[in-house]
């Protein structure tokens, strides 16, 4: 689709009003085309993401391409079932009458995506929006320009041009886009911009989904299998060089476990990336110098660096780094790290860990490594987070059967699978009453 941003959005509204995106057959066809688009251009996608992020091809295959394909496979055969009329009984006072709900598409949806999983975070919301019968305007991130350009080219070539538009650009273009009228805005990125998006949406009372970030904590107690915990934490933290929204951001553990856990996690980083991760084909890079400089400022003096800490600005490289002897007031604990740095802090026990977590903004994810049922229940009942994983970081992100989203500072709304279908649908209530007998008369004034 060509034209100015205003014209593109107008055209999408015309297409939606003409009913282009409503038929189930059309929705399935678009999802089939998207599947084809991805499988036919696997190598192009892996290359573009590598150019943007230095992301290893295997990581793109697993964490971007496979996740979108899985979502399509899950959603596509269920569209009609999820859209079906659901009959509901009417109260006795209203009888005879019938009522039901139907899922109707919201209309024209704006998807604003970030750079860290530039394919997956653009296409997964689109899959759910298409399944629900919407037209979509995608605004991919300017910080992953190769993937954004590829997405624009492929979407233009494979999907119905009447119902999809891609608008590229940075702040000025997005600001312009946010002045247009949409029926839903789906934003993934940091909370500061999330507030800008929500403010712009509020002006037109447009509903929003905000998929934000924040510091996702981990708690490890003495009953945990330390080897398994260390491996899983290392994988969750250092995948995509730490630039994953649900990555473990910091670890809380009891004082005697700080050192052994740090050692084991460091051991796993060597197993994953060798003794010099800069030469590992399995280790990613930081997206740009701005993020690199921000991360370097979070690195403390040597005494607190348990392992790693090496950096190379020219190659945007930061080694997998583990910090111990960290205080809650240290810079690394003041913002989401979003890079390959893992602080480990000591707390006395699980209750103190809960108090520490509850004293901060609600996280997108919280991970607990324990074999204790009481500790599980403590976290399940006394903390609030987008998701809670026992012995499993990132796991919920990989399932289309689970809603994915944050709470409070980490987000608003959810998607993936049925949750995504519902997020992009309006559940419309329909009622119907026969005109004979006219029993509603009993409610008419004058009241006796």
- Residues at the contact surface with ligand NAD, assessed by CB under 6 A: 112-116, 121, 139, 141-143, 170-171, 174-175, 188-190, 193, 196, 211-213, 245, 336, 338, 364, 406, 411
Does the annotation count 245 as an active-site position?
yes
Q: What sign has the CA pseudo-torsion 31, 34, 40, 46?
A: negative
Intra-chain end-to-end CA distance of the chain, in Å: 63
Q: What sign has the CA pseudo-torsion 286, 287, 293, 295?
A: negative
Q: Which residues pair with 109 in a beta bridge?
A: 136, 184
Query: Whose Cβ is closer to ligand NAD: residue 143's or residue 295's?
Result: 143
Query: Whose Cβ is closer to ligand NAD: residue 20's or residue 402's?
Result: 402
Contacts 24+ apart (CB under 8 A), 380-383: 382/354, 382/358, 383/354, 383/357, 383/358
Spatial strand order of the sheet with 411-412 comes to: 164-166, 135-139, 108-112, 184-188, 208-211, 411-412
Strand ranges (E), 374-446 = 387-390, 411-412, 425-432
Q: What are phi and psi of 240, to 5 degrees?
A: 55, 35
Catalytic residue of the set 76, 137, 245, 336: 245
Query: Whose Cβ is closer to ligand NAD: residue 309's or residue 386's?
Result: 386
Torsion of CA 308, 312, 316, 319, to 10 degrees: -10
Tell me the C-alpha distance between 72 and 425, whole Å: 17
Closest approach, Cβ 6 to ligand NAD, in A, equals 16
Closest approach, Cβ 192 to ligand NAD, in A, equals 8
Query: Whose Cβ is closer to ligand NAD: residue 114's or residue 403's?
Result: 114
Tokens 């941003």 sit at which residue?
5
Report helix angle 5-17 to 171-178, nearest 10.
40
Tell me the C-alpha distance between 74 and 318, whole Å: 37
Tell me the C-alpha distance between 189 and 239, whole Å: 18
Catalytic residue of the set 59, 211, 336, 423: 211
Query: Whose Cβ is closer to ligand NAD: residue 106's or residue 139's?
Result: 139
Tell me the C-alpha distance between 307 and 187, whole Å: 36
Closest approach, Cβ 209 to ligand NAD, in A, equals 10
Tell me the C-alpha distance between 448 and 434, whole Å: 25
Query: Whose Cβ is closer to ligand NAD: residue 115's or residue 283's?
Result: 115
CB 113 within 8 A of CB 435: no
The CB-nearest residue to ligand NAD is: 213
Name the DSSP class of 64: I
Query: Whose Cβ is closer to ligand NAD: residue 133's or residue 242's?
Result: 242
Closest approach, Cβ 200 to ligand NAD, in A, equals 8
- Residues annotated as catalytic are 211, 245
């Amino acid at each position: 689709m060509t034209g100015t941003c205003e014209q593109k959005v107008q055209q999408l509204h015309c297409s939606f009003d003409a009913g282009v995106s409503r038929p189930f057959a059309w929705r399935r066809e678009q999802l089939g085309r998207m599947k084809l688009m991805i499988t036919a251009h696997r190598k192009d996608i892996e290359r573009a993401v590598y150019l943007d992020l230095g992301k290893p091809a295997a990581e793109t295959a697993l964490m971007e391409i496979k996740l979108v394909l899985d979502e399509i496979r899950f959603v596509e055969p269920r569209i009609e079932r999820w859209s079906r009329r659901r009959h509901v009984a009417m109260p006795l006072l209203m009888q005879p009458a019938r009522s039901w709900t139907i899922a109707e598409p919201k209309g024209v949806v704006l998807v604003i995506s970030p750079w860290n999983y530039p394919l997956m975070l653009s296409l997964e919301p689109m899959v759910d929006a298409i399944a629900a019968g919407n037209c979509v305007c995608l605004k991919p991130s300017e910080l992953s320009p190769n993937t954004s350009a590829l997405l624009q080219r492929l979407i233009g070539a494979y999907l119905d041009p009447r119902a999809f538009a891609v608008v590229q650009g940075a702040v000025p273009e997005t600001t312009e886009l946010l002045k247009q009228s949409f029926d839903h805005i789906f934003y993934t990125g940091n909370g500061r911009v999330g507030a800008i998006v929500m403010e712009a949406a509020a002006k037109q009372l447009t509903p929003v989904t905000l998929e934000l970030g924040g510091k996702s904590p981990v708690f490890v107690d003495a009953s945990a299998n330390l080897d398994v915990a260390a491996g899983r934490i290392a994988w969750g933290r250092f995948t995509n060089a730490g630039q994953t929204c649900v990555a473990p951001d910091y670890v809380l553990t009891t004082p005697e476990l700080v050192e052994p856990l740090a050692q084991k996690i460091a051991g796993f980083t060597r197993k994953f990336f060798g003794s010099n991760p800069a030469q590992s084909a399995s280790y990613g890079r930081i997206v740009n110098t701005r993020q690199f400089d921000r991360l370097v400022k979070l690195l403390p003096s040597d005494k607190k660096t348990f392992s790693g800490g090496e950096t190379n600005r020219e190659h945007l490289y930061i080694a997998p780094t583990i910090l111990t002897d960290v205080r809650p007031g240290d810079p690394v604990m003041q913002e989401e790290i979003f890079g390959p740095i893992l602080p480990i802090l000591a707390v006395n026990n699980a209750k103190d860990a809960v108090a520490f977590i509850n004293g901060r903004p609600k996280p997108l994810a919280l991970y607990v490594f324990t074999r204790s049922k009481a500790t599980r229940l403590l976290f399940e009942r006394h903390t609030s987070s987008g998701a809670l994983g026992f012995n499993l970081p990132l796991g919920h992100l990989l399932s289309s059967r689970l809603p994915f989203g944050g709470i409070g500072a980490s987000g608003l709304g959810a998607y993936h699978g049925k949750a995504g279908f519902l997020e992009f649908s309006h559940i419309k209530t329909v009622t119907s009453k026969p005109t004979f007998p006219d029993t509603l008369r009993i409610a008419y004034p004058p009241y006796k």
